[in-house]
Each structure stands twice: as C-alpha cells, then as structure tokens.
Amino acid sequence: MKRMERQTGNTSEALHDETVLIHRILDGQTALFRQLAGRYAGQVLQMVARLIPSPEEAEEVTQDVLIEAYKCLSRYDSRQATFQTWLMRIAYHTALKHYRQHHKHIRTIDVEQQRLDSIPDDETDALLDDTDRLTFMERAIDMLKPDDQMLLSLYYFDDRPIRDIASITEHSEGYLRSRLQWIRKRLAITIKSLESNENK
Amino acid sequence: MKTNEKYNDRGLRLAMKRKYEDAERMKLSDDFDDRLMQQIEQKPMHRHLWLYPVVGAVAACILLLLILNIGQGQSPRQAATTDKSMATNSKSVTTNQSIGDHQIKIDDHQICNRAATTVQSGGNKDTNGQQQGHKRTATREIPDTLGNEIWQNPENVERAIRILADCKATIQREEQEMRNMVIEATFRATPQPASAVLVTNEVGDYEVIETKRIIEI
C-alpha cells in the first residue's frame, strides 16, 4: 500500500514536473524541449517503425512527429490526455500519413461481408488462439490496411485499453470495438484461405 | 476467447510480437537530439505575425463597408419618407425584433411608404397590428432604420471614429513591425560590410547604415 502511494506520488510529481517543463518551453525556453523529447522519442520511434520498417525513414518520421508536437505544444491540454497519449496521437497520424504517401501500392484483400458472417465466433476464437499458425497470421496481418494494423498493434502488442486507443486514434470506443471484431474475423478468413492455398 | 473484456488470442499476440521484434529493437541515432533541436531552433514557434495586419485591415474594411452601406442605404426617397414621418409625428409601432442590443422603433407611416416600393417577402415577425405584409417589409428595412438611428446619436459617431482611429494605428504599428522584421531578416541573411549596423530611426523604422555615417551624425 505504502509502495503504491509512493508510486502514485511519484507519478503525480512526474506529471507536475512535465507540466512545468511544458510551461517553461512555451514561455520561450526552447532548449528544454530536448529534455521533453528525450523522454518519449524512443517510444515514438518504436510506434512509427511498426508501419515504416526502414530505420532511416522511421527516424525521419519520428523527427517530424516531435517537430509537430513542438509546434502544437500550446494546444496540449493535460486535462484531456497525458502528454504521452497526446504525442502518440500525433505519431499515429503522422506515421499513417507518411505510409499512405510513400507506400501507394499497399496490397490488401477485400473480404465480402457475407464471407465474414459465414465464420462463427467460436472458430475465429480458436484460430486466433492457436500458436501453431504464426506464419500465416503474420502474413494475414500484412494484408490488412495500415490503420487496422496499427489498431491491432495498440491493442495486442501495447496492451492498451480501448479508451486509450480511442484517444490516440480519435475514434469512438464503440467503433473501435466493432472494428476489432471485424478485423479478427477477417484475419481468421485470410488465415483459412492461406492454409487451403498452401495445402493445394 | 475473451477475458475481462479483452480478447485473449494468444496466437495473434505471439504473431504480433514476432512481427514487431525489429521495431522494438530500433534505436535512435546518437545525434538525433542535436538534429531535432537544430530543426526546432530554425523553426521558431509560429506566431503568425503577418496575420495581425491582415486581420486589422479586414476588420477596418468591414467597418468601412458597413458605414458606407448604411450611409448609401438612406436614399433621397427614404430620407424624404423619414422627414415626412417625423413631421407628421405619427404613431410608432415597436417591433420585438432586436438587432444586437437595439430595440428598433419603426414608424407606421414609414412602413406604409416603404411597403409600396419594396417587394413583399416571407419571414413573418411577431409585430403587433393588422398589416402583415407591411410588417414583413419592415423587417427587411430594419438595417436602414438602425443606420438612421445609430448616426443620430453623437456618442455613436464618436465611438465609430475612435474605433477607426484605433484600427488605423494598429495597422500602422503592425506594418512597421512587419517591415522591421523583413529588414532585420535581410540584414542578417545577406553579407554586409563590417561597418554596417542596424539602427532604429526617429519614426521607429529599422535602417541599415554604416558606422561612418553615425559618427558624422
């Protein structure tokens, strides 16, 4: 309990420290932005690199994200979201924009709604729970649209709560839940198709 | 499989882990911070200084247009109607329509005269009386009536003059700041003789002069 209190105290202290830092940057102490950026640049890079695997390109986009954050710093409201979430929102949108501009030949598969409805929930659960189909799963993820890939990474890889993802992606929680369900079904169908092609 | 409102999907989680292994290991280059700060210091926070004179100029234009429009709106015919109605001292009808903070009184006689010359249009307003068509026309004529009333009050005229003077002063100040910024930026960006210095003249404008001239002055 005491440890928890200390942790909470430390967190609120850190948040206060961050708010003070932001105020000082906005007051003209530009050099302090190095300190603020240093705290999150690594996380931004790792998020961007999920869509942009080239290290040089990912670093360039990370720089764009931080410059954008600097330019919009006065619009940041600590009551709406933490600085980290706010920064991740910029990273998410910048990475997607960059991806769409530079990877115009994205290969995605359109799956008809009827086919999606044809696969029962139990089968979807079983397919996605199976750890022997990892290669097919990776290939199926690659065939998703970039924003769906990012949604999956935020949910499964970062293990973020839906509320947090809603804040980053600027979608409603309801939309994200149904989208997630849709993506899961789509993945299950793609995995099945890839498997049957392989067996042929 | 769903636990605590979260999908379990162990296989999918593992696949994601494998897929993003490289992204997790990625590190920023050592000089990243320096390059970032260099970029940021080259791009100072956008204050959009150029916006101030533009906004000031637009505001002044709108104000001038309003004044001109109101001035022209009182055509000789309307002026005569107003005079006549004032002379006959007829009964006034008060509409409940308010524009800004002004409650507008519309002369009954004036309404009748204007109604004869103006095309009747929709938009029933809750005025009292029996002549619905006349009232509709009166609603359309309200800006003119407002204009007439507004400029009869010397306080309003003084206020308008003050606003215009303020606008003019603001525009001049912003223009000077902009001019000075351009002069300073050009001075810093282009090669200058060692004796050249940037000074402010008596009206507040920047000027590039040579030190020799300063001594002469």
Written as one string, the DSSP assignment of B193-212 is -TTEEEEE-TTS-EEEEEHH
Chain B residues touching residue A66 (CB < 8 angstroms): 36
Q: How many CB atoms lie within 10 A of CB B104?
A: 18
Question: Do A84 and A6 fall into the same domain?
Answer: yes
Asked if residue A82 is part of any domain, the answer here is yes
Q: Tell me, what CATH number does A169's domain have? A: 1.10.10.10
Tell me which of B203 and B1 has the higher pLDDT.
Answer: B203
Query: What is the three-class DSSP state of B44?
Result: coil
Question: Do A121 and A90 fall into the same domain?
Answer: no
Whether A179 and A148 have beta carbons less than 8 Å apart is answered as yes
The secondary structure element, H or E, covering residue B149 is helix B132-152
Considering only alpha carbons, which residue of chain B is nearest residue A31? B37
Q: What does the pLDDT read at residue A180? A: 93
Q: What distance in Å separates residue B58's CA from the closest CA in chain A?
A: 26
- Give, in order, the Cα–Cα distances in Å from A126 to each of A129, B1, B44: 5, 7, 54
Instruction: Provide the pLDDT confidence category of residue A57 given band limits of 50, 70 and 90.
Output: very high
pLDDT cut 70: percent of chain B above it = 54
Tell me which of B3 and A168 has the higher pLDDT.
Answer: A168
Determine the Cα–Cα distance for residues B135 and A108; give it in Å rounded to an integer: 64
pTM beyond 0.80: the answer is no
Tell me which of B167 and A105 has the higher pLDDT.
Answer: B167
For A172-184, what is each residue's pLDDT tens digit? 999 999 999 999 9
Q: What does the pLDDT read at residue B2? A: 56
Asked if residue A87 is part of any domain, the answer here is yes
Q: Is the pLDDT of residue A132 over 50?
A: yes
- Span B25-46, average pLDDT: 83
Considering only alpha carbons, which residue of chain A is nearest residue B13? A156
Contact B36 A37 (CB under 8 A): yes
For B66-89, what is each residue's pLDDT tens digit? 887 776 655 555 544 544 444 444
Q: How many CB atoms lie within 10 A of CB B124?
A: 10
Residue keyed to tokens 């929680």? A173
Tokens of A87: 């920064």
Determine the Cα–Cα distance for residues A180 and A167; give it in Å rounded to an integer: 16
Q: Tell me, what CATH number does A43's domain have? A: 1.10.1740.10
Chain A residues touching residue B15 (CB < 8 angstroms): 134, 137-138, 141
Q: What does the pLDDT read at residue A147? A: 92
Q: Is the pLDDT of residue A162 over 90?
A: yes
Question: Do A155 and A176 fall into the same domain?
Answer: yes
Contact of A91 with chain B, judged by CB distance below 8 Å, is answered with no
Mark A71-108 as b/e (b = at least 16 C-beta within 10 Å): eebeebeeeebebeebbbbbbbbbbbebbeeeeeeeee
Tokens of B70: 């109101």
Contact of B83 with chain A, judged by CB distance below 8 Å, is answered with no
Domain boundary among A78, A102, A126: A102
Mean pLDDT score of chain A, rounded to an integer? 86
Contact of A134 with chain B, judged by CB distance below 8 Å, is answered with yes
Asked if residue A189 is part of any domain, the answer here is yes
**Region for residue B204 given its phi and psi (left: phi exceeds 0; alpha: psi -120 to 50; beta: otherwise):** left
> Least CB-CB distance to A46: which of B23, B32, B40?
B23
Determine the Cα–Cα distance for residues B200 and B4; give it in Å rounded to an integer: 70
Q: Is the pLDDT of residue B22 over 60?
A: yes
Considering only alpha carbons, which residue of chain A is nearest residue B20? A50
Asked if residue A108 is part of any domain, the answer here is no
- Give, in order, the Cα–Cα distances in Å from A26 to each of A14, A34, A76, B169: 18, 13, 11, 29
Q: How many CB atoms lie within 10 A of CB B144?
A: 19
Q: Which of A48-52, A152-156, B146-150, B200-204 has the lowest mean pLDDT?
A: B146-150
For A67-114, what is each residue's pLDDT tens digit? 999 999 999 988 888 899 999 999 999 999 999 888 765 555 566 666
Extended strands (E) in A90-161: none
Q: What does the pLDDT read at residue B37? A: 92
Q: How many CB atoms lie within 10 A of CB A68?
A: 15
Whether B177 and B49 have beta carbons less than 8 Å apart is answered as yes
Domain boundary among A102, A136, A156: A102
Which residues form the domain of A9?
Answer: 2-102
Q: How many CB pairs under 8 A join A and B?
A: 108
Question: Do A139 and A54 fall into the same domain?
Answer: no
Asked if residue A53 is part of any domain, the answer here is yes
Whether A146 and A100 have beta carbons less than 8 Å apart is answered as yes
Contact A50 B20 (CB under 8 A): yes
- Span B19-26, average pLDDT: 90
Phi, psi values for residue B93, rounded to 5°: -115, 130
Q: What does the pLDDT read at residue A107? A: 57
Question: Do A57 and A141 fall into the same domain?
Answer: no
Mutation site, A44, A74, A99, A155, interface B, largest B CB count within 10 A: A155
25-54 in B: which are within 8 Å (CB) of A? 26-29, 32-33, 35-37, 39-41, 43-46
Question: Do A177 and A133 fall into the same domain?
Answer: yes
Mean pLDDT score of chain B, rounded to an integer? 67
For B84-135, what is each residue's pLDDT tens digit? 444 444 444 333 433 333 433 444 444 334 433 433 333 344 444 444 444 4
Contact B43 A71 (CB under 8 A): yes
Contact B16 A34 (CB under 8 A): no
Contact B11 A137 (CB under 8 A): yes
- Span B138-165, average pLDDT: 71
Q: How many CB atoms lie within 10 A of CB B179?
A: 13
Q: Which of A44, A25, A52, A23 is nearest to B37 (CA)?
A: A25
Q: How many domains does chain A have?
A: 2
Contact of A40 with chain B, judged by CB distance below 8 Å, is answered with no
- Span B175-199, average pLDDT: 80
Question: Do A61 and A143 fall into the same domain?
Answer: no
